Structure 1
Amino acid sequence: MNIHIFSISVIFACIFIRAGNADIKFDKSLSTCSLYKDNQPEECLTLLDSFAKYASDFTMCSIKNARPVRLCEECINHYVMFMNKYTELLKTVVNGTSCRDIFISHDRLDVVLESHDRISSMWYKGNCNECYDWTGTTPILSNNTILFKKMLNDTVICIETTINPVGNNTDEVCSRCMEFYLKLDKFYRSLSKDSIGLDSVCFDILDSMNTTRSIWSKDLDCCKKLRSPETIFLWCTGIISLLPILFYVMVRYLTPLKALPNALKESRFKQSFLRSSREGIN
């Protein structure tokens, strides 16, 4: 009996000793973590908090403005603050300790750098810089962006004010708003460095133009109405272009041109005869 009691006591003692060792290791890990954070300058930790806040603000703004796409215009302040804080994080040195060396390129995840690259990639993928004039201290909407927004607004107002009274009859909308739409489309094409505009136009503008074109062609069916007068114009242009050709064909085959070579030969014979006669006299 005493042996059994002794054995049980030994087992419980081993369990308590292991538990104590585990607590010691856990406490050591906590103290190591605290020591690591204590070695980080307070200024660097404050910059990291600000960086995380602006990254979160931009991400939230981009999600809220995903459709219709207004990321470039609505999220510009969040983007500028985020980039400024990232630059500050890279350049700040406290008592010989660089904040960059603490937070960037220390592990495979590299969370700070990955967060910066992800937001920058989204911004540049949308060509958002093309919406702004960056010559000053702060970015402002470019003249082209302001003009496009005005022309787009004029087109939308024309469509809305015209379609409401007439209901489903879109003929009036197409004829009355045709001038506004064509001016808008022409100006948009002037902004594009390629035929599509994907690599040169601010995505806010591109998305607005695509939506307007879809409404104009699919919902209002104005493109078919536009093609009808264009077809008549092209036919008239083609007929007018063919008239000179028809004229020369008629002149060639309907007039007595066969007598022309004989006349030419006769005149040449007279000229040669006169020339030889003069040479004989001389």
Structure 2
Amino acid sequence: MMSVSALIISFLLLCEFSMGRGSLVDDLQSSDTSDLMARSVWAEQLSLSLLPSYSSPDHQMDPNMCVQLLREFANNSADLSSCLAGMAWPVRVCQYCYKEYQQLKATMTKITSPLQNSSTLSCETTLLRSDRVQVIVALNNFYDDLWTDSKCSNCINKNKTNVLDSTAAFMKLFDELMHCFNSTKGSTAPDQHGNFSHVCQMCNVTYKNLSDQYTNLEHGKHLCIDLEDAMNSTRNLWSRVFNCTLPCTDTIPVVAVSIFILFLPAIFYLSTYLHSDQRKRKLILPKRLKSNANLAHIQDKSN
């Protein structure tokens, strides 16, 4: 049952509303925006204070706690949005925005978890389910979807406190390659193009190391949007801007295997022909014909 104080407050509010409805409308029309905001906040806090009156006095929820968590979520959301927008190009959201994302998730955990000195009461119903749009839930789902689509978990350690060593090593090698591009792109002679240019010759080893490391990270499922964007931009510069190609060191084995496969049918048929049993047909005379021939031979001798 409701407490006596809650019943008195509700009764006074109903009396004031029924007796001075016209004056209340006039006051609302004549008041400014700040006054309306103050009244709305007061009304929200009053409604929050009346909600837990159905439970025991020892488990009453403090509305100021929910307001504080709401402000904390708003600040975390603003910090994360600012970081994501600032690191959108070139894409470095996973490396530089993981702290803001973890702070937002920590605040969301506080909202859904029971408050202090209570095992059941929380701000989840008040902040997450009190409105039809569910603004906080929509914002939280948006950040989760963005983080999942970017595969940022692949570049952050299990404790979610720092980037992986493999990610840092890849970005360090990427910075070295960009430095090589910037320092050698202006020293190419006009008659040097493609692999004969100074950029392709000087940066070939670094580019190959970066490409091999990217392949290893791809096989180990340690790629995120930061590494994918860095490698895509690198390949675009290497092939389209500088017209470089990565020389293949396995040319001779590939050619040998191709020639062997090409002549494999001929070798098969030749070996089959040589190892097959070619039996010659032998003419076998019938016994009757053989006896007649012997008789004719004897008669010749007698004559």
The TM tier, using the shorter chain, reads: 0.5 to 0.7
- State the partner residue of 1:191: 217
TM-aligned CA deviation for residue 19 of structure 1? 6.2
- State the partner residue of 1:238: 258
CA distance in 2, matches of 1:18, 1:99: 33
TM-aligned CA deviation for residue 143 of structure 1? 2.2
CA distance in 1, matches of 2:64, 2:277: 108
| Equivalent residues in 2 for 1:1-282, closer than 5 Å | 20=23, 22-23=25-26, 34-38=42-46, 39=49, 41-93=63-115, 97-134=121-158, 136=159, 138-166=160-188, 169=192, 170-171=194-195, 172-193=198-219, 201-223=223-245, 226=247, 234-235=254-255, 238-239=258-259
- Structure 1 alignment gaps of length 5 or more: 1-16, 266-282
Q: SS of the residue aligned with 2:229? A: helix
TM-aligned CA deviation for residue 88 of structure 1? 1.5
Tell me which protein shows more helix as a share of its residues: 1
Assess, with a 3 A threshold, how the Cα gap between structure 1 residues 167 and 233 changes in structure 2: closer, same or farther.
farther
> Which sits farther off after the overlay, 169-178 or 68-77?
169-178
Question: TM-score w.r.t. structure 1 length?
Answer: 0.68
Q: SS of the residue aligned with 2:138? A: helix
TM-aligned CA deviation for residue 241 of structure 1? 5.9
Check the 8 A contact 1:58/1:78 in 2, yes or no: yes
Check the 8 A contact 2:99/2:161 in 1, yes or no: no
CA distance in 2, matches of 1:213, 1:245: 40
Question: How many percent of aligned residue pairs carry the same amino acid?
Answer: 23
CA distance in 2, matches of 1:68, 1:82: 23
Cα RMSD (Å): 3.8
Q: Deviations over 1:54-95 (max 9, x none)?
A: 101100110111111011111122111111111112214267
Give the letter for the 1:103 counterpart. L
CA distance in 2, matches of 1:19, 1:66: 54
TM-aligned CA deviation for residue 246 of structure 1? 6.9
- Aligned residue pair count: 238
> Which sits farther off after the overlay, 79-88 or 32-41?
32-41
> Which sits farther off after the overlay, 80-89 or 154-163?
154-163
Check the 8 A contact 1:43/1:94 in 2, yes or no: no
Question: TM-score w.r.t. structure 2 length?
Answer: 0.64
Assess, with a 3 A threshold, how the Cα gap between structure 1 residues 23 and 154 changes in structure 2: closer, same or farther.
same
